[in-house]
Structure 1
Amino acid sequence: MTVPRSTLRLQFHKGFTFDDALAHVEYFAALGVSHLYASPVTTAEPGSMHGYDTVDYSRISAECGGEAGLKRLVEKLHERGMGLIIDVVPNHMGVGGSSNAWWLDILEWGRHSAYARHFDIDWHSPDPALRGKVLMPCLGASYGDELAAGRIELRFAAQTGHFYAAYGPHVGPVCPIDYAAILQSAERADLSALAERFQGLTTQPADQPRAAEGRELLREFVAQNGRSAVDAALANYAPGESVTRDRLHRLLERQHFRLAWWRTASDEVNWRRFFDISTLAGIRVERPEVFDAVHALPFRLYTEGLIDGVRIDHVDGLAEPREYCQRLRQRLNELRDGEPYIVVEKILARGEPLREDWPVHGTTGYDFMNDVGALLHDPAGAEPLAATWAELTGRSARFADEALAARRKILAENLSAELDRAARALHRIARDSITTRDFTFTALHRVLTELVVHFPVYRIYPQNGVRTEADNVYFNQALAGAKQALSPADYAVLDQVDAWLGSGTAEDAALVRQGSAANAQAGANGQPFNHAGSSRRTAQTLFSQLTAPVAAKAVEDTACYRYGRLLSRNEVGSDPGEFALSVEQFHATNLERARRFPHAMLATATHDHKRGEDVRARLAVLSEIAHDWSATLRAWSTLNAPQRRALDGSLAALDHDWAPGPAAEAMLYQTLVGCWPPELAPDDDAGVKALAERVAQWQLKALREAKLRTSWLAPDETYEKACRDFLFDILAPQRRDGFLHALSALVARIGQAGAINSLQQTVLRLTSPGVPDLYQGTELWDFTLVDPDNRRPVDFAQRAAWLVETPPSDLLSEWRNGRVKLAVVQRLLALRAHLPALLSEGTYLPLTVKGKHAAQVVAFARRHANAWAVIIVTHLAAGLLDEGGDVPLVNAAQWEDTAVEMPAELTSRALFDWMSTAAPKVEDDGSLFLRDALATMPVAVLVEDGVPRA
């Protein structure tokens, strides 16, 4: 079995190892998943809690249990008929400490390192101080201050014979050509003799083995004679005295790295980062030797049958995603019979297709998460909630305005070095032609900025240097936006940049193809690309590797923390400007997926989500009571006004400069409503305090990500403390009869409708076309917030104890503890195992609903051969629930004449509900009345077969 029936995502780290997962395999099997879906298993930075900072692609993480631990886990999975999918990170590596051998070799040998072309480094920086060097932006303050403070030191590693510059956990290996000078500085005959081994060394590869031999002799000398002699040499580079400090400085200046304040990275970094993270360096997996090194381990694991497929992280960071996916598929196909399962982490805009020439099974499910999330919202709430947001905060009612401003800020402050590099690539092309040689760098930079700012999707995917029609749909939007923003004096430059970035003719495409060989040869020699075709390809790649991180940082990590019409739409992969999705549109997206990528992943929670799936489901109810919620926001703002803080920490600030400020305050109220635990009482002081601590962690991250009054680059700790004080004040025990009572009452009012939304999206994920993915722990209610809150330890033992054979309807009355959700997941995964072809390959048939409350129902059928499943879920239920009711269920009588029009083939068949004990009857005219189908559960999954009994 290779294509999963269903997956369960686990986050491995030193606190949750392969053996920890092995201990719960019986639970995973009883739950009904076919595959575990693991976070990266390769060796990451020590202590990594996520694994995406890989430092060694060749070894399985020892902290997670090593290869032996992984094999034990897989052996147990195979005993239970299950498999494993692993996360592969081909775009970047961790370079933030001293564990990455490839990176350390580059720091030591510069462009002559064996790994110099493994990373995406600009060795030809226009800054003379960086030419042939790598920027190391790791210092906590300016270089001069840190040097003078003695925090940068020259040290010696006795076990390896290396000299290195040390700054905290950061290591900069000294090039061996400087070892002779270091050793001779001690003026000792024994060290001078060792120094001769390093005399005349160059950085050329042929000299590097000689340096290794010299280091070995040095290591042996210290092992036999102790460190005193070497320490005498190190003393001549001690930072404590001006003379020796100056000698240390001059030594550092000769190295292939340049130590710098971390703030310089955004402006000066000369290597591609993952987004704006200066501890993650982009690698060039498009190079065959890098591809082979990155994938040797997963290829071996696949060959040995230990894994059944891979999830590719951040595919848009790669130079050539199409070629990468094709090469990956080809290699996996060659290694083992059967079909390898391949999905890519890809953010798609509404209407943007995943390219069919990528031989993958689909995405990791952000698109489905967006679809089902939007479905839960009432479109009638969009305008009043936007108006309330604008009125209360003074900010724009349109998300697009926030996104545009955020893109400009990210380009100017976080990714300016990457923008400069792309502009220089265009400038080199301009200088190569007499017709464009007068296009200045500044003009090209200006034009490129506007194109990136207005780019509506992550990136383009040119073929042979020419954009496809699919690319042009989005590139033309960026062109139009740029043209509107630019002066007419720049239009000629804009038109030329358009051509260079792929709007050209077949002749241009041939030029790029001809340049590919020259490009490869130049790269192999470490030379700049001069050929016109290869220069264009390089510019296109740099453009695409710029638009993708700008989109991620500006939209997901900035604008989504600034715009608060309704936070349930501010999610990874979603456009908060798109408020709701109709039932018809949801059916259309399912039909499209069934046609193009029937085995794509379906997710409603991930390790990267901003809010737990049940937080979003509850907040979506506010769209159904938009006017009441707007009034509540105003009332709470008035109620809590006395707790507002001036920036000096005093209470009752009356001017505009108070903390947290209207926008942050409004978002805070939504967050509290969304994540308030269902069983928490306002007089539970300990429980409320624990919630406040979690929300405070979210609040700090949200404020800094918004980058308005504080940020990661320039934190305003006074403002942040005032915001935290406000939060703890409004949740203090003395507020239990005031704000806490009002908050818990509002949660109680919408809680039942929120639970119906949660069960609705759970059923849709488990029955729609695709492979349903379950994020660890979300079998029960998921009221977590952004990481690290959503990566807290999971009590799998409790979940295992709560597995039952009884139908979910038996647990609905105790819905607050989440067992009903677990039962729904368990029952539908059992159905997928019982009739695997029905839900994995079955035709998707939207069903018509008629009657008074037809708009409150989503219904469709799945059919495979003679097998059928009919899925019916309650939709937008807030207005149908009994006031004061305590069960998330619409009273059967409320449905009145509402009915699903069933397929003719089912009118004579007996149907059984896998969610309850019901067996609703289809009328002779094909009508299935909701008063029968949804009498005991807000969701129904009707199948001709009854539930198998153990």
Structure 2
Amino acid sequence: MNGLRATIRLQLHAGFTLDDAAARVPYFARLGLSHVYASPILTARPGSMHGYDTLDYGRVNPELGGRDALCRLVACLRAHAMGLIADIVPNHMAVGGAGNRWWEDVLAWGRDSVHAHYFDIDWDAFAPWLHGRILVPFLDRSYGAALRDGMLRLAHEAQTGMFFVHHHEHRFPVCPRHYAALLADVGAPADLCAELGALTPAGAGCRGDVPALSRLAAWGATADGQAAIARIMERHDTRTACGRSALHELLGRQSFRLAWWRTTPDLINWRRFFDITGLAALCVEHEDVFDAVHGHILDLYADGLIDGVRVDHVDGLTEPAAYCLRLRQRLMAVQHLRPATAPQHLSIHVEKILHEREHLPPSWQVDGTTGYDFMDQVSAMLHDPDGTALLDGLWRDHAIADPTFADTERNARALVLHEVFPAELSGLRTLLAAIAQCSADTCDYSVGRIGAVLSALLMEFHFYRTYFSDDAQGGYQADHAVLKAAAHGAKAHLLPSCHDMMDWVVGILGRTGTRDASIHEAQRRFEHLTAPLAAKAVEDTSFYRYGRLLSRNEVGSDPGKMALPVARFHKDNLHRHKAYPDTLLATATHDHKRGEDARMRLAVLSEVAARWHDLVNRWIVRNAHLRRRRMTPDRADEMILYQAMLGAWPLVPWPDADARQEFHDRIVAWQVKALREAKRHTSWTDPDMEYEDGCREFTRRLLDPRASGPFIADMDMIVATIAPAAALNSLAQLLLRLALPGVADLYQGTELWDFSLVDPDNRQPVDFMLRQTMLQQDTSLHQQAAQWRTGGVKMYLLQKVLAFRAQYPLVFSKGSYEPVEVSGAAEKHVIAFVRRYDGIALLVVVVRHAWGLVPSPHDLSLDMSLLEQTYLSLKVSGNGTWRSIVHEGRMHAPATRLALSFLQGGVPVDCLVQI
């Protein structure tokens, strides 16, 4: 069995099951992969396309084939010496709808439920009428209107004997203790009513497997029972005034308060995943909740059916460090139970967005992140800083508001904080005010002024979170620095009279070693607000508003930062090599904003900024007549649209009208999402159909050859012009991902060119048969380069390097990382390094900013005049001949100074091995 070396991320769902994955394992093995890295496999909401909406942590999703299919997949993987990493979702689970027993138990019994502490609920909410109740904002209209319009319906579930109130796909359980009153009025047996009236949360839960409910179900199946239950339904029928009054009175006695979904931002009293009301946060910091969420995953590991885990959204947990330590301890505790055919190695990776100045805390004892940090670094290194000024100017000329990303982010933060998370802000503000009242020095700090200070702090807090609420975190120096920097920035926007209050707020939020429950709760609430605020304001708003260069608007990236120097890139790799050599290296994920090759194509615009500047200005004038009405889309949305089209534009002209229509449909679907995420003219909650229709019509006309022939010709021209340089960007990105310190991660389908847009476009079905057929071809890099537009050149490079990595895994897992000095005419265009282990050396060379090297549109080869005058300086020459593992027959004599002339006559990337 191989160790963790290279993974492929698969998106599992009913249309691509565990058995479908098993059928592809021989292909994955031939490609050179060591592990399948699967999206969540436990039971999710029916029809889920991603698996993050878990309903039941206790079984493998039957829509994926269940445990039997998982066993078949693992047997196939073991036969090919491969393993399985499972994505787990400890942060949240699906609520609303039906089928979540834990959640329904809480709705039925309120804070007395045995599952009440599973969810992060504020039972003493700031709204007095919500005290002891949980807001359930799933109604499609106001509560009164839903009652009046007959959209709430009492129903009896014959199988379990339980009563629910239904609203579309949602069901809300009536507390079983209230059944007695309902049944007594219709002549039910007195002993049954007495038994039901004596039910307790511990004795009943929200299940149909207790004696009293079983008796009710049995009695309900009799003629008398059916008639009685029919009378109950009639008495609560909202088609009559009496029925509405009766149902309203019944609902008023429940532990939940039904509400219109629009009340959510202001009134929500439980924590969600970001702002998604259908996903409720879990409190896995409680040991029994941890056990309930992870019990089956531990069993799967003990049974040898998984070999590692990927933890989703680790920053959403209250105590990430403590969680990670407990997870590793629990998994290691059952490792001795694993069958002999399963490896003993355990990998734990966490999904975490790292700020530029942030590192994964070593106290967590995990193997690394899922690779967003690498995706940002390698992309930035392949952008040219020389294009910054022109692209800045182009954006500033046409996007009147928010000319910089800092402006964009600040305005988006203000919008999201006060319109999406006002309840969370209000709860934290109220708690801090209560803490202030406990001291004579701060008792005059009013709720309003504390709120203003807190808002200013949140506006300047650019990291995902601090970790003061996590006692297992270890040192807090970095967290103190983050808070201090945010406070310093916030004071510039506050009156001097508020500065002392800011210092006090920061002191409370950053206090360590305290046993004060209120302070600990304030820290927890702050940390649970900053992460979703960053995600929604930056990634899900600002990234769709700021359009200087979309290739830098990627998860984990800072769009305000155009490029990364090679020296800093080497420094980041050296840190990764030392601290997290088994971290994942990703350049595409299920959450990326655009495909890895679309990103690399857009990166070329940083090199041809002048040409793009002129082209966009020409389009803005020429295409003005295509608008259905004035400024629809506005200039910012128009410029973003052009870049999205450029990134996804086909490498060869559309073969027919159907292909053009398919592209149109993809762009329009992306456009609607982008406009609504931007929240400038329209949004998901308040869509402006007139603006959206105008943008859709503009896009339709842009892609109509009869209306926009010159534009389409221009786009064909610019894509064809930059495509060779973009392809070399992509191949450089690929080779770096495969050879740098870390575990190479491949996203499904990206073996060939990936010009996808944001999800769901990047989760489309993958044609694995095509890829399998291409992989079986007897070919060479030279042959693939001659037809590079098919993407075969990318797959060939991937397979060759992965094969070498499989043959010499220790070179990558334990080998050194040695940056190579580049000097000469093209030194800014080259990055090189050596991996060395036990007498084996691997020299990796790629070009960057390839536009300036004039790549051939025929085979991607370069004008060699600059490279012939450029040299690599090796610290150790070695005794063996350098042999290329990707270019057949290429060899080079050992030397401490190598001219880059060896890149001549082919794709200008290479891996040279010396053994």
Pair in the same fold by TM > 0.5: yes
Query: Counterparts in 2 of 1:298-697, with a 5 A limit?
Result: 298-336=297-335, 338-462=344-468, 464=471, 468-502=476-510, 504=511, 509-510=512-513, 512=514, 515=515, 533-646=516-629, 653=630, 658-681=631-654, 684-697=656-669
Structure-2-length-normalised TM-score: 0.96
1:232-247 alignment runs, 5 A limit = 232-247=231-246
Deviation at 1:88, TM superposition (A): 0.9
Q: 1:635 to 1:36 in 2, by over 3 A?
A: same
State the match for 1:260 in structure 2. 259
Distance 1:149-1:730 versus aligned 2 partners, 3 A rule: same
> What CA deviation, in whole Å up to 9, does each residue of 1:444-492 have, x standing for no partner?
2222111111102001122659971111221111101221112223223
Q: 1:716 aligns with which of 688, 710, 714?
A: 688
1:827 to 2:803 alignment: no
Q: Secondary structure at the match of 2:362?
A: coil
Change beyond 3 A, Cα 1:872–1:540: same
Alignment partners' CA distance in 2, 1:209 and 1:909: 72
1:767 aligns with 2:767: no
Find the counterpart in structure 1 of residue 341 from structure 2.
none
Task: Evaluate the alpha carbon distance shift between residue 439 and residue 467 of structure 1 in structure 2; reply closer, same or farther with a 3 A threshold.
Answer: farther
Structure 1 residue identity aligned to 2:843: V
| C-alpha deviation, 1:178, in angstroms | 1.9
- 1:520 corresponds to: none
Q: Could you say what secondary structure the match of 1:904 adopts?
A: coil
Q: Using the TM superposition, name which of 410-419 and 336-345 deviates more.
A: 336-345
Question: Which residue matches 1:77?
Answer: 77
1:172 partner letter: F
| CA deviation vs aligned residue, 1:105-142 (integer Å, no higher than 9, x gap) | 00001011110001100111121221111111111111
Residue 63 of structure 2: SS of its match in structure 1?
coil
SS in 1 for 2:105: helix
Greater shift in the superposed pair: 484-493 or 768-777: 484-493
Q: Tell whether the 8 Å contact from 2:877 to 2:894 is kept in structure 1 after alignment.
A: no
What is the Cα-based RMSD across aligned positions, in Å? 1.9
Moved more, 91-100 or 568-577: 91-100
Q: 1:944 aligns to what?
A: 914
- Could you report, residue by residue, the CA deviation over 1:246-266 in whole angstroms, capped at 9, with x for unpaired residues? 111111111111111111111
Other-structure match for 2:132 = 132
SS of equivalent residue, structure 2 residue 300: helix
Q: Which of 697, 702, 708 is matched with 1:730 structurally?
A: 702
- Could you give the per-residue CA deviations for residues 483-510 of structure 1, whole angstroms, max 9, x where no partner exists? 11122232232222111112x4xxxx44
Give, in whole Å, the separation in 1 of the partners of 2:708 and 2:253.
64
Supply the distance in 1 between the matched residues of 2:707 and 2:836 (Cα, whole angstroms): 55
Contact 2:601-2:729 within 8 A present in 1 as well: yes
User: Which residue does 2:339 correspond to in 1?
Assistant: none
Match in the other structure for 2:884: 913
Contact 1:599/1:769 (<8 A) preserved: yes
Q: In structure 1, how many angstroms separate the alpha carbons of the residues matched to 2:384 and 2:32?
A: 33
1:893 Cα offset (Å): 4.1
Partner of 1:671, secondary structure, is helix
Q: 1:89 aligns to what?
A: 89
Partner Cα separation in structure 2 for residue 874 and residue 209 of structure 1: 62
1:800 is aligned to 772
- The SS at the match of 2:364 is coil
Partner of 2:93, secondary structure, is strand
Are 1:807 and 1:914, in contact at CA under 8 Å, matched by a contact in 2?
no
What percent of counterpart residues are identical? 45
8 Å CA contact 1:828–1:914 kept in 2: the answer is yes
Q: Deviations over 1:770-829 (max 9, x none)?
A: 001000000010110000000000011111110145332320111111111011111111
> 2:114·2:201 contact (CA, 8 Å) conserved in 1?
no
**Residues 76-85 or 144-153, more deviating:** 144-153
Query: In structure 2, what is the equivalent of residue 214 of structure 1?
Result: 212
1:810 partnered with 2:818: no
SS in structure 1 opposite 2:607?
helix
Distance 1:27 1:192 in 2: 66
Structure 2 counterpart of 1:836: 809
Q: Secondary structure at the match of 1:912?
A: strand
Runs of 5+ consecutive residues of structure 1 not aligned to the other structure: 516-532, 647-652, 946-950
Q: Which amino acid aligns with 1:668?
A: L
Q: Deviations over 1:747-774 (max 9, x none)?
A: 0010100000000100000000000100
State the alpha-carbon separation in 2 of the partners of residues 3 and 347 from structure 1: 26
Question: Which of 221, 224, 229 pairs up with 2:222?
Answer: 224
Please say if residues 106 and 116 of structure 1, whose CA atoms lie closer than 8 Å, have aligned partners that are also in contact: yes
Residues 1:209 and 1:81: Cα distance change in structure 2 (over 3 Å): closer
CA contact (8 A) 1:860 1:872 kept: yes
- In 2: Cα distance, 1:284 partner to 1:392 partner: 47
Aligned partner letter, 1:602:
L
Unaligned runs of 5+ in 2: 337-343
Q: Distance in 2 between matches of 1:193 and 1:210?
A: 20
Q: 1:869 is aligned with what amino acid? A: L
Amino acid in structure 2 at the alignment position of 1:911:
W
Within a 5 Å distance, the mapping from 1:163-174 to structure 2 comes to 163-174=163-174
Question: Does the residue aligned with 2:220 lie in a helix, a strand or coil?
Answer: helix
2:818 is the alignment partner of 1:848: no
Following TM superposition, by how much is the alpha carbon of 1:677 offset from its aligned partner in structure 2, in angstroms?
Answer: 1.7
Please tell me the residue identity of whatever aligns with 1:281.
A
Please say if residues 501 and 539 of structure 1, whose CA atoms lie closer than 8 Å, have aligned partners that are also in contact.
yes
Say yes or no: does 1:21 pair with 2:21.
Answer: yes
**Residue 899 of structure 1 pairs with residue 871 of structure 2:** yes
CA distance in 1, matches of 2:565, 2:291: 46
Cα deviation, residue 345, structure 1: 0.4
- Could you tell me how far 1:209 is from its partner in structure 2? 10
CA contact (8 A) 1:3 1:341 kept: no
3-state DSSP of counterpart to 2:86: strand
Alpha-carbon distance in structure 2 between the residues aligned to 1:711 and 1:266: 15
The question of whether the paired residues in 2 share the 8 Å contact of 1:106 and 1:115 is answered with: yes
- Which digits, 9 at most, give the CA deviation of each residue in 1:909-947, with x for residues without a partner? 2111122114242475x33222223431121011136xx
- 2-side partners of 1:550 and 1:351: how far apart? 19
**Separation in 1 of the partners of 2:280 and 2:247?**
27
Provide the rounded CA distance (Å) in 1 between the counterparts of 2:134 and 2:69: 37
